[in-house]
Structure 1
Amino acid sequence: MMTPRIRKEVDEALFAFVDRRRPDLLAVSPDLAPLLDALDSLLAGGKRLRPQFCYWGWRGAGGGTEPGIVTAAASLELLQASALIHDDVMDSSDTRRGQPSVHRRFEELHRRESLLGAAEPFGVGAAILLGDLCLAWSSQMYESSALEAERLARGRTVYDRMRTEVMCGQYLDVLEGARRGGTVETALRVVEYKSAKYTIERPLHLGAALAGAPLPVMEALSAYGRPLGIAFQLRDDVLGVFGDPAETGKPAGDDLREGKRTVLVALTAERASPAQVEVLERHLGDPALDGAGVDRVRTIIEESGGLAACEEMIERYADQAAKALADAPLTSEAVKALEDLAVAATSRQA
């Protein structure tokens, strides 16, 4: 399988692009160096799933080995960086990929340099601006990928839709967190637009559109990508509660402290006793939730059958994706790579 090589090429294209932008920022002011340092640190981690799905969407639709496709695909990592930075601000997350989140990083800079005013709004403001910069750079990197103008125009429609959908999904996520209750249906709506389409379906569509894929290929990629994207996020929800912090890069139970109204939580609420639901609601969204509280919620999720139901959903959606891929009109090389990526997306431990 060629995916490890593609991941390496994506990294090279991504870091080369940022390095080319670096002198422009530092020419404005040396004070912008901490922004670049924060971005370098964030980009050093990550699985590069979106660029890989984009690349194999391209190859599956008959695209060749033009180097420009790797650059176009790698631009999705800057879009992802923007989303992660802003998401951490909205969730008040302390860590990301095993290190301080961007807004916490700039709070510490404020304190270290004894700047005027409060550290927290300074950190939030710096993070929002860096996220905005990453969003702008994602477009710039895509447009400068050296692919033909006609190809870029075809892909631009998908790229624009992808950015719109993920922002809509993010708002729905914030809204669900502010509401008491929530259902499996509403949680799945968030999953579809914040994660499933954004992580897998649209990157596949982007690569295929760049290759000039016909409608049957786009439909086949949706039949594979949408259920796999849902399974991916459901696995992420499980890891957000039960994952090892050393592997996930976030404290144990962080999704509980942030009040995430995930499918896992909704499945648990449907199956739990009134007393268990009361404990779940009391702890969900408590930023001071300690290890004992996390363990209590974990026990409820397991004993109620919520965890088992979520695992069953992951398996069902993954099977649906596998069946769709088996019938997809894609190159055999791409089918093999997408089979392996499906396993990586749904069986991961971090």
Structure 2
Amino acid sequence: MGRNPGRTRTTRWGDTGRVITGAGQQQSVVRPLAPPLAAADLGRVRGAVAAALTGFLEEQRTTLAGMDPVLEPVVDEVCALADGGKRLRPAFAYWGWRGVTEDVSGPGEDDAAVLRAVAALEFVHASALVHDDVMDGALTRRGRPATHVGFAVRHGDGGLSGDGGTFGVGAAILVGDLALVWSDELLRRSGISAAALARARSVWDTMRTEVTAGQYLDLLRAAGGLPGAQGALTVARYKSAGYTVQRPLQLGAAIAGAGPRAADVYTAIGLPLGEAFQLRDDVLGVFGDPSVTGKSADDDLREGKQTLLIALAEEEADEQGRQLLRTCLGNPDCGTEQLDALRRLIEDTGARARVEERIAERTATARTAIADAPIAVEAGAALDALAVAATSRTA
């Protein structure tokens, strides 16, 4: 069970790039060591984002508790979702802003207000996570029950009538919707100027449209649409890559008042880096350490996530391997031995190695774009450090 013999070729995935496959043909791109992560001032950015979220959510707690105390668990859930995390999206947006401020005439935005504005990205992310977990039937998120699971338990503990699972799903959808509503409110109330807010809205609206459309593309692919490696990359582009790096960078540029050239520069950085980020996420979803990632390494396989790993494994597997994929992928009843066999298939077909090659190539492309970008030196160093951290992470 494993790789079909005699398959050495160049595979082109639409306009997303080229990967060389086959023995003796692997290519790698070597980039200089990145600056230390301290260059991104991540501790200060994370602290400011956490403070903005905490203050905002405490206001919302007062508002919802005033409506009825039974609404407090809803705020608790959003708080839990917004707590921790890597804060990469706000960091990219902040340094996207810092990168072009020197090139813009007129009064600049207040640093603290910009940090509050980019903190709103965490609510967009929380919304996407909750809805994604509902669609995938995920059980855990960041080491705790997924939102729909937690509310199903709450239904049972409260002795409520009706089906607990249905209640949990409904509550999770509303929690995700509320997080998206609050992302708008936090951005609007951040303290950036009216002109900056108006400029930011265009990028903000595009980003939220893309991530929602990307969720549908993911749903469609799971049902057999958008087949093959190109389909997997299309989903990754719109579901995650854009709103993880490209749009946050452009959001920062829009807040600063930079023009179309900055948007193009940040696209050249953000699209390859966002794809590499998502592919790293896919690898960790199958091969990551649960004590570090906060979720079981079996979940993605049991949920049947149609990632690039799976598309490439299916492409290269023999008939026995394809039968294993048909039988076990997406089957919640598969045991540990079958799931381990799936992992071996992904390894033996070379799918994991090819995805790792693509992560390295896309990261190198982004780092070259960062090095060539006409942005402030300190912003270039910060973005380079973030690029390496985002694509070599273990969680």
TM-score of the superposed pair, with normalisation by structure 1: 0.98
Q: Would you say the 8 A contact 1:201–1:225 is kept in 2?
A: yes
Q: Does 1:177 align with 2:219?
A: no
Match of 1:306 among 328, 351, 375: 351
Task: Give me the identity figure in percent.
Answer: 50
* 2:303 counterpart of 1:228: no
Q: Provide the residue aligned with 2:118 in structure 1.
A: 73
- Please, which runs of 5 or more residues in structure 1 have no aligned partner? none
Question: Which residue number corresponds to residue 254 of structure 1?
Answer: 299
- The aligned counterpart of 1:7 is 46
What SS does structure 2 have at the residue aligned with 1:45? coil
Which of 74, 99, 118 aligns to 1:60? It is: 99
Contact 2:309 2:351 in 1 (8 A): yes
Structure 1 residue aligned with 2:257: 212
Partners of 2:182 and 2:240 lie apart in 1 by 21
Question: Do the aligned partners of 2:109 and 2:193 also contact (CA within 8 Å) in 1?
Answer: no
Aligned: 1:295 with 2:334 = no
Q: Larger deviation: 50-59 or 31-40? A: 31-40
SS of 1:106's partner is helix
Match of 2:143 in 1: 98
Stretch moving more, 288-297 or 104-113:
288-297
Q: Does 1:203 align with 2:248?
A: yes
Aligned counterparts, 1:123-202, within 5 A: 123-179=168-224, 182-202=227-247
Alignment-derived partner of residue 323 in structure 1: 368
Alpha-carbon displacement from aligned partner over 1:242-295 (angstroms, at most 9, x marks no partner): 011111111122111111110111111111112211112211111122221210
Structure 1 or 2, whichever has the larger Rg, is 2
| Structure 2 CA distance for aligned equivalents of residues 185 and 80 of structure 1 | 24
1:32 alignment partner in structure 2: 71
Aligned residue type for 1:80? H
* Match among 298, 307, 310 for residue 265 of structure 1: 310
Q: Residues 182-234 of structure 1: CA distance to partner in whole angstroms, max 9, x if unpaired?
A: 21111100010001101110010001111011222211111011000000001
**CA distance in 2: counterparts of 1:215 and 1:156, whole angstroms:** 15
TM-superposed CA distance for 1:45, in Å, is 2.6
> Equivalent residue for 1:118?
163
The letter of the residue matching 1:289 is: C
Instruction: Say if 2:250 and 2:262, in contact at 8 Å, map to a contact too.
Output: no
Q: 1:180 Cα shift?
A: 7.6
In 2: Cα distance, 1:125 partner to 1:135 partner = 16
Pairwise CA RMSD: 1.2
Q: Could you say what secondary structure the match of 1:5 adopts?
A: helix
Higher relative helix content: 1
| Deviation, structure 1 residue 65 | 4.7
Equivalent pairs counted in the alignment come to 350
Contact 2:109-2:192 at 8 Å conserved across structures: no
Any conservation in 2 of the 1:45–1:97 contact (CA below 8 Å)? no
Residue from 90, 96, 99 that aligns with 1:51: 90
Q: Report the Cα distance in structure 2 between the residues aligned to 1:201 and 1:317, rounded to whole angstroms.
A: 14
CA distance in 1, matches of 2:331, 2:115: 42
2 CA distance for matches of 1:173 and 1:137?
A: 24
Structure 2: distance between partners of 1:266 and 1:21: 43
TM-score with structure 2 length normalisation? 0.87
Gaps of 5+ in 2: 1-38, 102-107
Q: C-alpha deviations, 1:16-38, integer Å up to 9, x for none?
A: 11111111100000001111122
Query: One-letter code of the match for 2:349?
Result: S
